[in-house]
Structure 1
Amino acid sequence: MDDDLYFLENPYLVRRRMQRKRRKYWVSPILIKRRILGEFHHLHEELKRNGEKFCDYYRMNMETFQYTLMAIQPSITKWSNFREVIPPEERLALTLRYLATGCSFKTLGYSFRISDVTVGRIVKETCEAIWDNLHVLHIPFPKEDEVEPIVQGFWNKWKFPNCVGCIDGKHVRIKNPRHSGSMFRNYKQFFSIVLQAVAGPDYRFLAIHVGAYGKESDGGVFSHSSLSQKLEQGALGVGRLSALPGTNIKVPYVLLGDEGYPLKTYLMRPFPMSKLGQSQTIFNKRLSKARQVVECAFGIMSSKWRLLQTSIEIEEPGDVDNIVKCICLLHNIIIEKEGEEPVASFTCQQTQSRNRYSSLGENRSVNAAYSIREQFMTFFCAEEVND
């Protein structure tokens, strides 16, 4: 049979022949001009001469940028004998712009004159490097001797005594992973992973847990997290008895959560809305005011890193987890290096729990938790009278 006729009659071989067509360019002409027209090369040096514009563009000041760069530079430096490599400073700049804008890899690729595949790889590697090199310094789980300043901070700033942190969850929109069914579909009917965080009195995150399925409730995420296990073992000083200010009444150090969390001896939640008297209302208001810390932390972070306001278009949930962890870490670094953000300029994100956690059928520890909450309530009511 004639070879040409054979190929015409065999679609598979025709496709193979077409797939073997040579590439037109080794590097696209658009990408070749990266050093001349790429966003980093014609803008970065100018921004360094204007601190305010630099901070607006990268969401951090020059000192914080350099601190982050020096920490991760060995991890993201590349070598090649065949083509020009992208330097660490440009890799960090590109990653920060992705986190700050939420633009697609393709859009950023055109701006920076880098292929969208390379943009995705750079973002993944840089976020991992930031987490690996800096999380021990800036999101360390507080040690026992570091708890007291946190407790004092909550009392001085938020008027809630014996508090070691406020806990809440945030849904992060994602593209539905393949073969995942409805695991990531949440009660608002979009696909998400859950970021659960404990915030301190200055809006920094004390602990985070990222990656739970969107369909899980706050209480469910908490009960399956390593944080819950640590708290059961007395982490964060919970369970340590300390007198309420100006009294001899001793109650344990506690976390504060909303109605989506279980009531425990180390975790206070509001009284049910159906059973509110004046005293319960006073307690709920005081708890709600203190809980603004974690809501405002989410609001500050989402306003600064607008990727969290979009649907993250990345296939692998594990890669999304790393990006979200990196954003939480950058949030802490910026607060520590540059000071607290003016909260009035951000929107505190009121989170809404899908399920109210029921404590029916639990053991005697729930009765102890009820008693502790009553003691806090009595203390707050006495303060109202004295004021």
Structure 2
Amino acid sequence: MRDVRSYQLPDDLVHPLRQGLAEVSVQTIAAITEEVPAYAEAFAGVLGHKIERAVQAALGTFLSLVARSSGDPGTPLASALEGAYALGRGEARSGRSLDALLSAYRVGARVAWRELAAISVRCGQPAATIADFAELVFAYIDELSAASVAGHADELATTGRLRLRHLQQLAQALVAGEPVHVLQAAAERAEWTPPQTLTAILLPERSARSLIDLLDPRTLPLAGALPDLPETAVLLVPDPQGASRPHLTRLLTGHNAVIGPARPWLRAQDSVERAVRVHQLHTPVGNTVVDTEDHLAELVVSADPVALADLREQALAPLAGERGTAAAKLVETLRSWLLHHGRREDVAAELFVHPQTVRYRMARLRELYGEKLKDPQWVLALTIALAVPVPETS
């Protein structure tokens, strides 16, 4: 393809082309309007006259480029390329792909060349000159197209980075539990359409990077937001309740994830906090998925670890005189007996001991507790005290 910068056409040949430029522009715009529907509305609206002038300017620039003398150091191509670059950026800002613009370039090149060639033929230019001229027309359009492609790509990269930063700021605000007006403003700034609910997922950062593309496009990822879990990422997933929650669980299998509860998107912090608490109680290992919905009772019981420790000490006071191993077996048996409502066979099966062993241990417990094992308040205290392991306290 010829370099359009290297060609000079004598002024006497360019002059009739300049005179017909306005009509060539009209024909070019009419063809683009008809063949590229995406631009029909733009040409018909308030932008129509501006676009028409832009088309005339582009064609005029081309004629000025090929008509300049060989000694002219300046180039009118720079301004045309800047305009094409800006046009590409504008298309990206409008949310449109380059398909329509490149189609308009192709149609415009074909029609402009057809009309300019007709003028050249009427002026008696030789066929070789006209053919050479055609190659330059299309080389010029190729340069404009390339500039628009570069502008479109640069705008997407710029806006993409900016939007990603806004999405990260939104995720940080949600995890931090910022006020409603702050969250709504952050969502608007990030051009993020809020869902009904968000569910927090905690998982290793490497897993978050591999899973993000499989989730709802509105999913908000955030790494490094949890000081106590430095290598754990948070994913805020829109609306994974109902039938989609089991699907989410299957998708997370093998990634050591903790799934929080679904909460209204403005209260996503609640889901994050619950997931963190369950993560602290049951750190997922062995490629497991921990669902916070399966640990509600444990969360309630362990809400005040100091009070739980005091209750346990009080409830197990009758065992204070028992030796370590014997005491541990009695506590284990008492817990199972409470949970199985005294069904000896079920207790034996859970503890992998003979039912007679359960009978012996319960006899010892009745000696130690006496009538307390029949007192509903003591049974309640023992059940709560033995529901979960006592967290370590400082």
Looking at CA atoms only, which structure, 1 or 2, has the larger radius of gyration? 2
Larger RCO: Structure 1 or Structure 2 (Cα < 8 Å, ≥ 6 residues apart)?
1
**Taking structure 1 as the reference length, what is the TM-score of the superposition?**
0.28
